[in-house]
Chains A and B, each alone.
Chain A
Amino acid sequence: MNFEEYAAKKEVLMPAGVPIPRGRLCKTAPEAAHAFDEIGPCVIKAQVPTGKRGKAGGIKSADRAKDAEARAAEILGMSIDGHVVETVLVEERAEIAREFYAAVLHDVASRKPLVLFSAEGGMDIEEVTATRPAALRRLAVELTQGLEPQAVRLLLRGLDLDGAEEKIAEILQALYRAAVTYDAELLEINPLALLRDGRIVALDCKLTLDDAAAFRLGDLPLLAAREKQTELEQLGSANGLKFIQLDGNVGVLANGAGLTMTTMDVISHFGGRPANFLEIGGEAYTKAEPALKLVLSNPGVRSLVVNFCGAFARTDVMADGVVKAWQSLNPTIPVFFSIHGTGEEEAVNLVRDRLGIEPYALMEDAVKAAVEAAR
């Protein structure tokens, strides 16, 4: 789950002891004017979970209350990378002397948390990595040991940090602790700014928390940014199904993530376009009926592939669900089955006897037929 800038700063950085600028979250332009009266010269920032805010015109500066109101009015309601701006952060304008970069993320290769620091901040970290790889310092941390002060000193050694070494070391340790405490997949401060008055503050923060850890994060997940989802995708989530709507016309109902992706790939291979991703493996294997409803509700769908390969999931249980759902929904589009694995014989008989449809012996043949039918 992703968080907007202000939620990340206020709920995670601040409690961890990382300084943030004064700011107020506003839902209307007049609120922004009031916030200006409190804060003074400020920056008004669209609160959306994407990194493309600046370029899209979602970040603007104001020197007077009237400007703050006008800029907020411009930004509110904007659409940035598909997200509609519903709130803006009115934040004190920092007098920046220098910008750094700091982050903690999961390192898949070493299977450890990785602390990143660069004496150059403000731009895409991919750019820093590409143009000046030596500028980016990295440290994989042993969870059982934690981030030790000596390790931080070593990480920062040889960098000219304008006397801010101590403060930065403290911030890196606070950042690491916060990442572990809140199960962050990514906790990034960019830029971490050294101000003219010598303070160091987190000017922007990107936070992604581990969905799998939601059970131990208290109320924090409630503050996560809403995912961009279509109505059908929301309906899928509400039913506990992972449904992704695509712009094709061949519906997909399969079990297991790998097999579902492959079904989509084979549809494309034969010149068709998949209409959705929908996984009904694992514990969801009894949910064939709501799953089928979801696939058929997608207005683009003109044919359907049902591809089951049962390992853990039983194909007879899934097929029974599909057959019942098919009979009750009575759709007009053609359906093509490929059924293999656990419970195969019963499942094939079920489809043959109750729907009068002969499942294909090869998945590719079922897909080919469905692609033809959708033309």
Chain B
Amino acid sequence: MIIYRKTHRVLVQGITGKQGTFWSEKMMACGTRIVAGVNPKRAGQTHIGVPVFASAQQAMEREPFDIAVMFIPPAMAKDAARDAIEAGARMIVILTEHIPAFDVMAIHEAANEHGARIVGPNTAGLVTPGEGFVGIMPGHNTNIFQPGDVGVISRSGSLGTLVCLNLTRAGIGQSAFLGIGGDPMIGTTTRDALEALDRDPRTRAIVMVGEIGGSMEEQAAAYAATMQRPVVAFIAGRSSPPGKKMGHAGAIVTGNAGSYASKRAALEAAGVTVVDTPSEIPTVLRRRMAAEVAAAE
């Protein structure tokens, strides 16, 4: 499970904070079922119409949930994630940036042990147009997101937003937006997201927005080679100098590993169309989808 559905019940950890409150209200207005929140100091109260509990464990007993989304500062993220995992959440969406890597590893170990899926850290979240969203995306903005049959995967929230906006303007709706996060070590990888969309009956084609650094796009390419559905990709960072962190901790090229050229070559060899600029995506996508239909007939 990685695609958000309106049947999913959502817990917000850190719901009473400024960002937690702001985005919880936006999520609810968009149709997301937020059933509970966590703040140990305000347990027993109701905040923006949602019952607040001392822990995810306690919330699970009274208001069972599927997804936990965290508005939690980096130093407390590990404990909050463990709480949600041990409570039995099926998916934890970690928006927090700058969590120490050893804490992220500890979160992964706990998630593996309990069979929970981690999205992030440093993700902007998940949007399913027409159903709702989890995270800090403008999922409520219908200029940007419209229901449709194209799945979008992105390591970056801002760039993912731009891509969805371009699709919507071109009259192409989205089946799901999967933000996976800009950190080098993230729970759900590009490959995982690609596989989830490939299995989704509502998704006909996929846009993959990658970045320089790491080898996630290369691994996704190996999976893409086995797919029937068309995939169009854009890789950010072609002009970034090697050895410098370009904002995202994951976007750094060391030696030849993680370079634009290696990612592009791997994707193209797998049958993925790689475009030079984001505005080419709708046109190329439409062409690939039309070819797919023609081949089926």
Chain A interface (Cβ within 8 Å of chain B)?
106, 108-109, 111-113, 126, 142-144, 180, 183, 185, 210-213, 215-216, 242, 244, 246, 254-262, 264-269, 274, 277, 279, 281-282, 309-313, 340-342, 344, 362-364
Set of chain B residues within 8 Å of A210, measured between Cβ atoms: 100-102
Partner of B277, one of A113, A142, A341, A364: A364
* A210-B102, A257-B246, A311-B158 as given contacts; A268 in contact with B277, CB under 8 Å: no
| Contacting pair B247 A242 (CB below 8 A) | yes
- Residue in A111, A265, A312 whose CB lies within 8 Å of B237: A265
Task: Check B101–A212 contact: CB distance below 8 A.
Answer: yes
- Separation of A255 and B156 alpha carbons in the complex (Å): 11
Among B144, B245, B278, point to the contact of A363 (Cβ < 8 A).
B278
Q: Which residues in window 67-98 of B have CB below 8 A to A?
A: 74-75, 97-98
A20 to chain B, nearest CB (A): 24
The segment from B38-46, B58-66, B135-143, B198-206 found at the interface with A is B135-143
Partner of B143, one of A215, A256, A344: A344
- Kindly list chain B residues whose C-beta atoms are within 8 Å of the C-beta of A312: 124, 136-137, 157
CA distance A310 to B138 in the complex (A): 8
- Please, could you name 21 A-B residue pairs with CB atoms under 8 Å apart, sorted by A? A106-B101, A111-B108, A112-B108, A210-B100, A254-B158, A258-B154, A259-B156, A259-B158, A259-B159, A260-B246, A261-B246, A262-B162, A262-B234, A264-B239, A265-B238, A281-B157, A311-B138, A313-B158, A344-B143, A363-B279, A364-B277
* Docked-complex contact B156 and A258, CB < 8 angstroms: yes
Contact assessment for B162 and A111 in the assembled complex, using a CB-CB cutoff below 8 Å: no
Task: Kindly provide the distance from the CB of A88 to the nearest chain B CB, expressed in whole angstroms.
Answer: 25
Residue in B102, B141, B215 whose Cβ sees the most chain A Cβ within 10 Å: B102
Give the Cβ gap from A104 to chain B, nearest Cβ, in Å.
11
For chain B, the count of residues having a C-beta within 8 Å of the partner chain is 57
When distances are taken between beta carbons in the complex, the residues of chain A under 8 Å from B160 are 258, 311
8 residue pairs, one from A and one from B, having the closest CB atoms:
A258-B156, A256-B158, A257-B247, A258-B159, A213-B100, A259-B158, A268-B239, A257-B248
Whether B151 sits at the interface, judged by CB under 8 Å, is no
Residue among A113, A242, A258, A364 making CB contact with B158, cutoff 8 Å: A258
The reply on B244 being an interface residue by CB < 8 A is yes
Q: Which residue of B lies closest to A247 (CB)?
A: B241
